[in-house]
Structure 1
Amino acid sequence: MGNFDFVKDVFPNIVDDCARAESYISSDPLASCVYARRAIDNLVEYLYYDVLGLPQPYHDDLSGRIHNPDFMRHIDRMIISKLDIIRRNGNAAAHEDNPNISSQAALAIVRELFHVVIWAGYNMTAHYDKVPVAAQFDPALAKQSMALNPVQFKMLLRRTKQERDEHARAIAERDAKLAAKDSRMLQLQAELETLRAQIKAAQQANTVADAHDYHYKEGETRALLIDQLLAEQGWRLDEARDREYQVEGMPPTADNPSGIGYADYVLWGDDGLPLAVIEAKRTSVSPLVGQQQAKQYADCLERQYGQRPVIFTTNGYETQIWDDKSGYPPRDVQGFYKKEELQRLIERRKSRHALSNYPFDAKADLIAGRAYQKAAIRAVDEAFDRYQRDALLVMATGTGKTRVVISLVHQLMEAGWVKNVLFLADRTALVNQAANAFKNPQTGLGSSVPVVNLLSDSDKKASGRIYLSTYPTMMNLINARATDESAAGSVGSATVKPLKFGPGFFDLVIVDEAHRSVYAKYGFLFDYFDSLLVGLTATPRNEIDRNTYRLFHLEYDEHTGGVPTFAYDLDQAVRDGFLVPPKVLSVSTKFMDRGISYDELSPEEQAQWDSRDWDETGEIPDSVSANDVNRVLFNADTIDKVLGVLMQRGLKVNDGDTLGKTIIFARNQRHAEAIKSRFDLNWPEYHGTFARIITHATRNAQQLIDDFSDPANDPRIVISVDMLDTGVDVPEVVNLVFFKPVMSRTKYWQMLGRGTRLCSDLYGPGRDKTGFLVIDCCDNVEYFNQQLPESDGYVGRSISERICLARLALLETLDADGSDGSTGSGGLPSRLLEPFGGSAEDCAQYRAGLAIGLHAMVSGMDPDGNVLVRPHRKIIETAADAAWWQRLTREKAALAAGLAGLPSSVHIAEDGGNDAAAKRFDFYMYTYELAVLRAGAKRAGVEAGYGVAAPTMDVAAIKRIVQTDADALRNPKNLNLPDVAECADLIESIVDDDWWRDVTVPMLETARKRLRGIMKYAAGARRNVVFTDFEDEIIVERGAALVPGGDAADVDMKRLKEKATAFLKGLDNNIVLARVRMGRQLTELDLTELERMLIENGIGDQGAFDAAAEQSGGFGLFIRSLVGLEPAAVQAAFARFLDGSRYNARQIEFVNMIVRELTANGVMSAARLYEPPFSDISGSGPEELFHDERDVDDICAILDGVRLSAIPRPRRKQA
């Protein structure tokens, strides 16, 4: 009796190959693997064509069928992995010259074959009852056959090839005859349909759970998972001592009185000494279980060889490293180390010096010799000496953060702490700048330390010690393989090229401008590289969110804020004489302050207004708001006036003859071009080189930056859109023109930092730079002086991720009453049938569609091929089992939600995920379906806490969006399209409110499927950019003070707010309060009167209201936050955005959500536009929704205007 005897009842065509595969395990491992591969070749072909009826794949071979997305949708992910392992080893046995396949490896392969046939027989045939699901492969049952001689083995390979070719010809002939409607083949096709129906009926009747254990045992974990991870780091494991290495001196126990143990793996150095010991456990056990045992193995090896190995514990899914000899506790890692990396760890135990008292050499003094720079380095030194692995440096722009980290790297290298370093930044210019700084022979490390800029094509294949990259580039490189064949590892007989950048490659990672949004997008990099981590930021310490402190494992208190490793702010740097302070000149013109009214223009200007092409409809507006100036409308004289202020009031060099180096921050590319055009027209004597544009659209931008950095060269003025906010350090810069509103506090401080650097002899010998001028045209300085709260860096989910979560929530809701998704005719409890709104069969089909799609998406995730996916291997392999989706519990749903954003070869959208409008429509309809289902479930008494929360978007908003989009599809232009005309009746129904009354899930799902492909035709019209030349005038030109970031205390206002709110509700007829609610401009007298009333009525004292004003950004904003705004006032401010003829439904609903928030809270930061619930409509922010960036600028400007109306304006001096 053999292990595969049952196969004759389920897959008789492969029973002989299976039997031969197990019979040659010991005598002929190569033949065993070849027969195993023959078996799955025939099995997969049968399942692919006969059982599943799938179309021929692009590559019609075993690999092509296994990895075909349609096939993967039906086959458990773990089985796919097992099929691939059998395929690869079978290919190696058949085709490699000297395959190194042992009997142990052959046993593992045949055991995998056993799992595959068990699963396929139980899940893909009508004879599941013949399959011994409770059995496990028993080598003792395997029949033993004599090894094949060379001639017989060649005959086996030849026969295998012939049979494969015959199969291919037979399939081709069958397809040809089917196409020709051959009667015999049509009969065969009918027989196949009957077979599929029998299998389906049998599987539906199968109520017995699959009890087979498909998990890897400890030995299988080693052979099939851990070997792969080790091979990726160049370990060949081709010596007997590499596995099951005997050690002596283990603590004797009753089970092992001899004290002899066997370490699962020992990794050896070239000197014959142990570098690492690995303790492996089966996949179902935590790696922590083996920690003490691994330590005992390390103790034994240390006694035997005099060198303590690094300790790894793993179950194939999770891995921990424990370098206890170096003093570190165990920590999670994403894989193993290469030989040279382990060698470095061990050598470092003796060679590295304590950092806290390590002397600064002459080179360090030259790089970063200032006292505060040395203090920053010492703070990191002390943290690392305390075995902390993370540090955060908060240093004002211009204080030399880059120099500090260069000096730190120099010290860490000299002290024996690091060899390889990675510097990460978010912009190409910053990476290039840092690369040049590291290479500088005087203030950098020169040529003694090779520097590799990974953004440079010439450097990408180079090797070095310091690597620099942007975050996205490094994300793309972590899956890259090394090209050195000599470094290759192996799994069984297969050669595996190692990863170029493994988890242990870098000893130190430096993160430039570290904040939460960076971690939210690219946090995997910080988890992947097992290195020391140093973060840099210029954002003042009290304005860094708590999540950033937690990322660096630093102290954070809700009241007092965070404690960085070291901080040195702008104020202190100015006092110490290392930076220069800004002077602010606030400038505004009539048009920028009030907008442009047609009625106020001269007759000539009105004629010009009438001649402009305003939009696609030909409609001519009566006015342009202040928010549209320099965004939608570019007025020549407005730009001229601002440039005039710059040329007259800007700081000058060369004894006042030449404007100093200047950066103008423009709103967008069109704005930058308009500024450049007006400058050249007004100052032609500068020949077009004095002012230049540097944006991401500029060719050879780096050369222009280099020219600007040269004090003797033009340009003197650069006009930038985002690119130079953080990407250039030119000490000669003395003028900054803020010609755009800034909404990010981080960006604000970075922009100010462009002018803070010292510059000797700028105005002549002995006449140094003492300050710089900020010409602020958009009230940015006043805005950020308020110390208003800002976003914590929330990064919106992609639309695909939100769709996935919505489908998970739907499936979880359907299963909330305890259904396993497979019982009864509908597969749902009767209590959910009524909320669903359809028949039991409809319910079952709907649920099956959700489960199949989600299962397919998870099955398309490849832990072996993508390191982003690899940390989730355990849950992926579990969720890739179709049975796992038979009932989605709350706990399962929460686990699956963690996979929603991972890359997969299978798109959850029907069209492959390429139609953005269709995906948005999917999300809206799924969200509405979920609302209907959960509300109905609650009414039916199905109460459950859900693992996946419903989107925060309300169903009334979705209804309005869908109806408006459907209405747009009804216009004659769209109805002429065949696809739209076919759905005309459904479109008419959806526009009508009656359709939505008592709407059911099947109705919504039918509409989703029919309309999703035509939603791209519902887009609205775009507005045009307008250029004018109307006479403008300067109306505000005053100095202002800049308030640097401080450490304001966090005051609890809850009780005061409750009392004040209750009192103010009783003042409905108060004129001042009415002005607050209507959003009218408040005066000092208004606020004095309100404060007087509150104090006199015992609501609070002067100190309490002073604290409230400080916390809220002003007393007017505090009052506004309590009473809110009148809806009519807010709607009037956003009236243009509520025009359905100009904006589509999604855009209007987005604005309506702003209106609702302002109505409730009275004020709203622009940063909120990137957070829920706004991100539920537009996951990447308003820029995704409003393709014209001027719209986004306008919305932000309106929000700013609403806020400023609660802040009294300074009184004008009387003439």
Structure 2
Amino acid sequence: MVANQNPEQIARDRIDEMLCASGWVVQSKNEIDFSVSKGIAVREYQTSVGPADYVLFVDQQPLAIIEAKKESEGHRLTVVEEQSQNYAQADLKYFKSTEGIPFVYESTGTVTRFTDYRDPKSRSRNIFWFHQPETLLEWFRSGNSLRQRLQELPNLDTDGLRPAQIKAINELEKSFKANKPRALIQMATGAGKTYTAATFVYRLLKFAKAKRILFLVDTKNLGEQAEQEFMAYQPKDDNRKFTELYNVQRLTSSYVASDSQVCISTIQRMYSILKGEELTDDAETENPNEQSSWLQKKLSEKDPVPVDYNSKVPIEQFDFIIIDECHRSIYNLWKQVLDYFDAFLIGLTATPDKRTFGFFNENVVSEYTYEESVLDGVNVPYEVYSIETEISQNGGVIESGWYVDRRDKLTRAKRWQQEDEDTEYRRNDLDKAVVNISQIRNIIKEYKRALETTIYPDRKNEDGSYEVPKTLIFAKTDSHADDIIQMVREEFGEGNDFCKKVTYKIDEDPKSVLNRFRNDYHPRIAVTVDMIATGTDVKPLEVLLFMRDVKSANYFEQMKGRGTRTINVDKLQLVSKTARNKNHFVIVDAIGATKSKKTDSRPLERQPSVSMKDLLGAVTMGVKEEDVFLSLANRLIRLDRQITDKEREHVVELSGGKDLKQITRELIEAFDPDKIEALSQTKLAEVPEQDLTPQKKENARAEAQQELAKKASLNFNGKLNEYIDNVRRQHDQIIDHINLDTVTKSEWDTTSVDKAQGLIQDFTAYMETHKDEIKALSIYYNQPYNRRNITFKMIKEIMDQLRMDQPSLAPLNVWQAYQTLGETQSDAPKDELTALVSLIRKVCGIDETLKPFDKTIDENFKQWVFKQNAGQHNRFTPEQMDWLRMIKDHVTSSYHIEMEDLDYTPFDAQGGRGKMYQLFGNEMEQIINELNEVLAA
């Protein structure tokens, strides 16, 4: 770079480099030579409104304009769009155009925006690089732009599609027509996400004439499954399979075939292709929760090498990118892959989180939850059976002097050794640092007993032997899986074929074992670490036995999803002869995996010991308890899968026109927060804004909930109840509870009122006991004025002490207890520390009702701003309000703000302490002190 070069020239030099890299030859207006290349970029070409910075010619045809700006004006590129459009619509020297030039860029060489003026309501968009000459010529000759063709998509043929799939496709296509660059489809596991994708991909290729679509996954396993889906897919309007109509290529190298219309690739491979690197054998992980050495190396780089332009894979290579299981892997290092391409992005996931919503611009085109899928009969509900042992809960002690086996984790070679000191181990050390054979044996022994007596007691063969339902056991490690397999074979008294390991580290072909587990009688039980945890269908599965905990809520949802699949009776009985139908599945929790609040979906069964007759009677007589409603809904869902068409007709007749699905939906909606909120908003619609007090809103929600509960209860009457109970007797059995002395707990998991009350009492007592020992608690109870001085560190101190003394009093557990008692309508905050602050404020009397502290801060902030504006209309400028909101957000996450915090993120990026002083002057310190006090009030 030339010293002291002006900013405009620096930008143009960078634009020249970009144009050359993408296949253009850059020439000055006095040295034009169209013979040297197909694509020529001419600088300062004369138009009727002055010289354009660049005019791009392809085969001597002017197709594009570039308006160049210096780098410091990157944020102003949208302001110059009118200027660049004027050049595009002007007459060019030697060229007369009635329609103008269709393609327009504004660029600083660092930031580039592009507009295709053939688009309906043409809108500029950020792009990573310039398009290649051949691309612009192809687009120009095609006549209509892609976005114009999207406006002309024909109506969807809904034959053979489920309602949720129809909604997802229709809403996605509406999003395309509105030219929204990113869209998210949230669809419950088992609801047919990939089939939905194949359907809209077919429509995009056939009707929108999309050139190429990328289907991105993050594991080889998911890539292979996606390929199988496309191979099996047959459109409704053609007798040929998808792969007979369009070329589908699953990338196994860096070569992207020119005639491929659907490319399936792992995101790791696409990253390596853009980087021009070879992908090592271990880079494409089979398991999304294990990191390959290649990935670990990439993530360990202090500053990961950014993706640069690759002319072999131009930005226009794909028109659409579908990101499967997009809750994983699309952030950090991989995000560069998605930012590189000039394409629509479509996310598919069953378990989105905040990052997912943010990445897809909060454009959720379709939401289809697990609960909705159960109501629609797409998935089956689940129940939880808990097994606890003394050692599982409390660990143990190996005393000095004992002789024990020491075993290598990988080779499993043993040595006999006398312990020279006591070794105490906790529950989290099990199957990692310590293996307790008795603990594994007792869980398996108790599982066998519970299966035969309580969970599925009706599975007797003609010879009197018990048929074990297809069971998947989740183990912690590969070594743990081996221990479990040995114990299962011993305790069930079966051979090798009965129980198999299905992981990526077995000598047998894991896919072959998985196919036998899915389609054959043996194995009855499979043990896995991660292979069957996500994206793998085993429809005959009826039990998931958790012998490992899971920290990730999303991952737990995926694991749980293995059991949700429906299967018809004939196919089920091919592998499980004594099974009558699959109307639910069971999670056997031997590790406490379901206790922590990882998942939004909860088991519907809350009262397993209460008879169907009593549940029906209670609802009919006006009992409006959530446990009763949800338990009855669960029984009716299961019954609906068993009864005959004639029995269904009689139900409709006795209920006054509603079938069991409608009745069940209303039972569940009576306690659905979204339905309650929607109805309460309707009730409040005519209330003036100034009269909308928190109490009125709370009252409206209570009224709405009561109204929904009453509507659901009125579906029932004596004749209907008697008929349902009689029909149920023919199709269902009573669940029996038996406790064994060898285990500390073996029962259906229920959330009872007594348990909830006890948990809240214990939490309140703990806070009272320690209020004089822990500084922050002392302030909350005794020094209200000093609440403004409570810091993140002080709250963390309470949390650490609580975890050490009473881990069962985890804030999310206590919050759930309040929900059980109906003492809060609010869901717990995602952040456990925020939940803790909210609970402390409730138990020490600061807040009358339990509500998330972040919402309290929001309300306090609004009231403070309102008071500030009361004496002086719009006291704060928009820029000042942005700063005040940043301070509020900081207090939400850190509970307090110091002057020094202004020197760090996010304030430093906005000018830090100096900028705030510039905006607020001598009031700066007063405002910080005031907000600390007011927000924590």
Q: Same fold (TM over 0.5)?
A: yes
Residues 61-140 of structure 1: pairs in structure 2 closer than 5 A: 78=1, 115=2
Aligned residue number for residue 383 of structure 1: 175
Residue 388 to residue 228, structure 1, CA distance change in 2 (3 Å): same
Residue 459 to residue 227, structure 1, CA distance change in 2 (3 Å): closer
Secondary structure at the counterpart of residue 753 of structure 1: helix
- 1:666 and 2:479 equivalent? no
Residue 610 to residue 467, structure 1, CA distance change in 2 (3 Å): closer
Residues 362-441 of structure 1: pairs in structure 2 closer than 5 A: 365-366=159-160, 369-416=161-208, 418-441=210-233
Residue 702 to residue 417, structure 1, CA distance change in 2 (3 Å): farther
Residues 816-895 of structure 1: pairs in structure 2 closer than 5 A: none
Q: Distance in 2 between matches of 1:738 and 1:376?
A: 33
Shift of 1:517: 6.3
Residue 741 to residue 1074, structure 1, CA distance change in 2 (3 Å): closer
Shift of 1:643: 2.9
- 1:510 and 2:299 equivalent? no
Residue 1116 to residue 303, structure 1, CA distance change in 2 (3 Å): closer
Aligned residue number for residue 452 of structure 1: 249
- 1:336 and 2:127 equivalent? no
Aligned residue number for residue 349 of structure 1: 144
Aligned residue number for residue 335 of structure 2: 523
Q: Distance in 2 between matches of 1:1115 and 1:316?
A: 44
Secondary structure at the counterpart of residue 380 of structure 2: coil
Q: Distance in 2 between matches of 1:358 and 1:729?
A: 33
Residue 213 to residue 457, structure 1, CA distance change in 2 (3 Å): closer
- 1:304 and 2:97 equivalent? yes
Aligned residue number for residue 21 of structure 2: 232
Residues 527-676 of structure 1: pairs in structure 2 closer than 5 A: 527-539=339-351, 544-545=353-354, 547-554=355-362, 564-598=364-398, 607-608=403-404, 619-648=420-449, 649=451, 658-676=467-485
One-letter amino acid of the counterpart of residue 222, structure 2: L
Aligned residue number for residue 276 of structure 1: 64
Aligned residue number for residue 471 of structure 1: 267
Shift of 1:1114: 13
Residue 622 to residue 1065, structure 1, CA distance change in 2 (3 Å): farther
Shift of 1:304: 1.7
Q: Distance in 1 between matches of 2:41 and 2:598?
A: 65
Shift of 1:720: 1.9
Residue 786 to residue 592, structure 1, CA distance change in 2 (3 Å): same
Q: Distance in 1 between matches of 2:800 and 2:316?
A: 64
One-letter amino acid of the counterpart of residue 48, structure 2: M
Secondary structure at the counterpart of residue 781 of structure 1: coil
Contact 1:591 1:1032 in 2 (8 A): no
Contact 1:787 1:1113 in 2 (8 A): no
Q: Distance in 1 between matches of 2:493 and 2:258?
A: 47
Residues 194-209 of structure 1: pairs in structure 2 closer than 5 A: none
Q: Distance in 1 between matches of 2:494 and 2:338?
A: 52
- 1:264 and 2:62 equivalent? no
Query: Residue by residue, what CA displacement relative to the aligned partner does 1:856-894 show, whole Å, maximum 9, x if unpaired?
Result: xxxxxxxxxxxxxxxxxxxxxxxxxxxxxxxxxxxxxxx
Shift of 1:743: 0.9
Residue 441 to residue 319, structure 1, CA distance change in 2 (3 Å): same
Residue 776 to residue 498, structure 1, CA distance change in 2 (3 Å): closer
Residue 1113 to residue 782, structure 1, CA distance change in 2 (3 Å): farther
Q: Distance in 2 between matches of 1:345 and 1:273?
A: 13
Q: Distance in 2 between matches of 1:1042 and 1:450?
A: 53
Residue 777 to residue 1114, structure 1, CA distance change in 2 (3 Å): farther
Q: Distance in 2 between matches of 1:1062 and 1:692?
A: 57
Contact 2:62 2:101 in 1 (8 A): yes
* Identical-residue share of aligned pairs (%): 24
One-letter amino acid of the counterpart of residue 747, structure 2: R
Q: Distance in 2 between matches of 1:745 and 1:497?
A: 36
Q: Distance in 1 between matches of 2:840 and 2:583?
A: 41
Q: Distance in 2 between matches of 1:480 and 1:372?
A: 40
Q: Distance in 1 between matches of 2:256 and 2:482?
A: 35
Q: Distance in 2 between matches of 1:689 and 1:313?
A: 66
Secondary structure at the counterpart of residue 429 of structure 2: coil
Contact 2:55 2:62 in 1 (8 A): no
**Aligned match of 1:697 in 491, 496, 505?**
505
Shift of 1:730: 2.1
**Aligned match of 1:250 in 40, 48, 70?**
48
Residue 512 to residue 705, structure 1, CA distance change in 2 (3 Å): farther
Secondary structure at the counterpart of residue 780 of structure 1: coil
Aligned residue number for residue 648 of structure 2: none
Query: Residue by residue, what CA displacement relative to the aligned partner does 1:914-959 show, whole Å, maximum 9, x if unpaired?
Result: xxxxxxxxxxxxxxxxxxxxxxxxxxxxxxxxxxxxxxxxxxxxxx
**Aligned match of 1:774 in 584, 587, 606?**
587
Contact 1:280 1:290 in 2 (8 A): no
Shift of 1:1121: 5.4
Determine which structure has more spread, i.e. the larger CA radius of gyration. 1
Secondary structure at the counterpart of residue 783 of structure 1: coil
- 1:1038 and 2:834 equivalent? no
Shift of 1:548: 2.9
Aligned residue number for residue 870 of structure 2: none
Residue 706 to residue 232, structure 1, CA distance change in 2 (3 Å): farther
Contact 1:508 1:531 in 2 (8 A): yes
Across the aligned residues of Structure 1 and Structure 2, the Cα RMSD in angstroms comes to 4.9
Query: Residue by residue, what CA displacement relative to the aligned partner does 1:747-772 show, whole Å, maximum 9, x if unpaired?
Result: 11111111111111244499542111
One-letter amino acid of the counterpart of residue 300, structure 1: A
Secondary structure at the counterpart of residue 331 of structure 2: helix
Residues 912-927 of structure 1: pairs in structure 2 closer than 5 A: none
One-letter amino acid of the counterpart of residue 42, structure 2: E
Q: Distance in 2 between matches of 1:553 and 1:214?
A: 39
Query: Residue by residue, what CA displacement relative to the aligned partner does 1:1170-1195 show, whole Å, maximum 9, x if unpaired?
Result: xx9xxxxxxxxxxxxxxxxxxxxxxx
Q: Distance in 2 between matches of 1:654 and 1:355?
A: 57
Q: Distance in 2 between matches of 1:1114 and 1:247?
A: 62
Q: Distance in 2 between matches of 1:415 and 1:1116?
A: 50
User: Which protein, 1 or 2, shows the higher relative CO under an 8 Å CA cutoff with sep ≥ 6?
Assistant: 1
Shift of 1:532: 0.5
Contact 1:420 1:506 in 2 (8 A): yes
Secondary structure at the counterpart of residue 749 of structure 1: helix
Q: Distance in 1 between matches of 2:362 and 2:539?
A: 33
Aligned residue number for residue 319 of structure 1: 112
Q: How many residues align?
A: 599
Q: Distance in 2 between matches of 1:768 and 1:458?
A: 47
Contact 2:7 2:71 in 1 (8 A): yes
TM-score, normalization by structure 1: 0.44
Query: Residue by residue, what CA displacement relative to the aligned partner does 1:194-221 show, whole Å, maximum 9, x if unpaired?
Result: xxxxxxxxxxxxxxxxxx4245764x76
Residue 294 to residue 733, structure 1, CA distance change in 2 (3 Å): same
Q: Distance in 2 between matches of 1:325 and 1:291?
A: 15
Contact 1:707 1:714 in 2 (8 A): no
Residue 1115 to residue 1061, structure 1, CA distance change in 2 (3 Å): farther
Shift of 1:408: 1.5
Residue 750 to residue 227, structure 1, CA distance change in 2 (3 Å): same
Query: Residue by residue, what CA displacement relative to the aligned partner does 1:939-982 show, whole Å, maximum 9, x if unpaired?
Result: xxxxxxxxxxxxxxxxxxxxxxxxxxxxxxxxxxxxxxxxxxxx
Secondary structure at the counterpart of residue 597 of structure 2: helix
Contact 1:281 1:314 in 2 (8 A): yes
Shift of 1:675: 1.6
Q: Distance in 2 between matches of 1:1111 and 1:221?
A: 45
Residue 296 to residue 1118, structure 1, CA distance change in 2 (3 Å): closer
Aligned residue number for residue 559 of structure 2: 751
TM-score, normalization by structure 2: 0.55
Shift of 1:266: 1.2
